[in-house]
Amino acid sequence: MSIGFKEWAVICEALGNGSQSIILRKGGIAEGRDGFCFQHDAFYLFPTWFHEQISKTRLPQETQLPERSEGRIVIRHFVRAEWTQLVTGLDAALALGPFHLWKSEVVEERFRYAEKQGIHVAFLRVYRLSEPWSFPDDPRYGGCRSWVELPEPPPQITLEPVLDDASHAARGREIRKLL
């Protein structure tokens, strides 16, 4: 079974170009009673445009959203979560600012959302697919949930790390120090 993790297309792009190596997540509306958790340690990045607003990132307002294929899902990246952590201190969550695109007020909003304050962080090893993997969009991929089951990827697809081993390890150490 192939698993997709739904994330804003601009964040998928940042992960895919090596400028970001973490995901911050509070959870979607459909996460269930127990809320969000990183249920899988290896998954494909499933780009979404729903709820996405450049204004919630530190990107310039004139930034164009990544191209969207109408009626199709296009997967370009696979990731492995090397470690995850629930961050329960707002100062620690905000200190991660240099390692992601979200504005600090968005991080704080997510952190404070719901009774249980905190935010989940995953440090990812990101891989570029040797070719984009495209399949038809389907209603089962909709809704405010993080995880979706995907069809099996084409067998010829190979993976190439986005960052070299040394750069990836150094970034992981920097982020761990902050937490």
pLDDT band at 130 (very low <50, low <70, confident <90, very high): very high
Is 43 buried (19+), middle (13-18) or exposed (0-12) by CB count in 10 A? buried
The answer to whether 101 touches 15, Cβ cutoff 8 Å, is no
Q: What is the CA radius of gyration of the chain?
A: 16
Q: Which domains does the chain have, with CATH numbers?
A: 2-178 (2.30.130.30)
Verdict on whether the full-model pTM lies above 0.75: yes
pLDDT(114) > 80: no
Residue 30 has pLDDT above 50, yes or no: no
Report the mean per-residue pLDDT for the chain.
89
- Say whether pLDDT at 65 is over 90: no
Are 119 and 84 contacting, i.e. CB atoms less than 8 angstroms apart? no
Residue 31, pLDDT score: 45
Average of per-residue pLDDT across 28-53: 71
- Check pLDDT > 90 for residue 113: no
Report d(CA 40, CA 19) in Å as an integer.
Answer: 23
Q: For the residues 29-53, what does the mean pLDDT come to?
A: 72
C-alpha 76/C-alpha 74 separation (Å) is 7
Q: pLDDT category, 55, cuts 50, 70, 90?
A: confident
Residue bearing the bigger pLDDT, 2 or 114? 2
> Which runs of E-coded beta strand occur in 9-51?
22-25, 42-48
Total number of residues shown for the chain? 179
